Structure 1
């Protein structure tokens, strides 16, 4: 085990737990699909302390909810269990609720509002998204190392799970 993150540590697959996924509207499904696609394309993800010299540091992540707790189940590329981390959703509730409300406003606005109104709503949406991402990075500290963009995409998936869970 090492204390330093390999520069090539990354996610190669992300799955949302079927047991916690219900039906969602098209906007939520689109957010989910884009977040997973973007996450797989570019990310930095490292279960702290996991080090296998000479082997690619590729991980798979399954996100789910158990009793209102967020579950990160991490395996390697051969599906060998690496770690499971369970986080309380309490620190995310207000931000997720406000983010969901602003997203609804945003989707309504893109259908009928002026460009300046859309831009104002989008700036507020991005601000809440950044707040949620920073909270996630703090909650994962010492467990999973992620960069800013990875945290943003994971926060989107947390919102999707919260909306459905």
Structure 2
């Protein structure tokens, strides 16, 4: 259906590389969640749905956007530098969360989880800010895209 402001497909270029089976599974889940529910609209384009191919070039994330039929729409290059600290903090608190699940009280686990969600929200907002004027996304889509960015960093 023309005019749909959503992604219908997300692929990862070979430049991103392959990793352990666990990481590949997490990437597949992140992509599935993103495709399942999203709001995605390149600014100035009449309508989708859209296919998104992500690649890495010189430590930058490249968004190659096409229509469902494969017609080029736009290419946006996003520096990953603003995300490095957020992703590092996110991974650190995730480790604390998984450790807490094994040995902490429910209230301690909940506090760590709230911190984890807060950092994830910060990363999602940073992503929305960096895409502003290029690609319109809602906060839930930004959260799913940020999850995918995190999984791209994860080496297993």
Q: TM-score, normalised to structure 1's length?
A: 0.84
Residue aligning to 2:107: 116
- Which sits farther off after the overlay, 76-85 or 138-147? 76-85
Given that 2:15 and 2:57 are in contact with CA atoms closer than 8 Å, whether structure 1 keeps it comes out as no
- Alpha-carbon distance between aligned partners in 2 of 1:17 and 1:137, rounded to the nearest angstrom: 22
- Alpha-carbon distance between aligned partners in 1 of 2:101 and 2:88, rounded to the nearest angstrom: 20
Residue aligning to 2:134: 143
- Alpha-carbon distance between aligned partners in 2 of 1:107 and 1:33, rounded to the nearest angstrom: 21
1:163 has 2:154 as partner: yes
Q: Offset at 1:8?
A: 3.0
Q: Offset at 1:19?
A: 2.4
SS of residue paired to 2:56: strand
| Structure 1 gap ranges (5+) | 1-5
* Cα RMSD for the two superposed structures: 1.9
SS of residue paired to 2:154: helix
| Structure 2 gap ranges (5+) | none
- Alpha-carbon distance between aligned partners in 1 of 2:12 and 2:100, rounded to the nearest angstrom: 29
Q: Offset at 1:38?
A: 1.8
Paired residues, number = 154
Select 2:40's aligned residue among 36, 45, 61: 45
Q: TM-score, normalised to structure 2's length?
A: 0.89
Select 2:123's aligned residue among 116, 132, 145: 132
Q: Offset at 1:25?
A: 6.5
Residue aligning to 2:10: 14
- Alpha-carbon distance between aligned partners in 2 of 1:98 and 1:131, rounded to the nearest angstrom: 11
Q: Offset at 1:77?
A: 0.6
Q: Offset at 1:123?
A: 0.6
- Alpha-carbon distance between aligned partners in 2 of 1:111 and 1:22, rounded to the nearest angstrom: 30
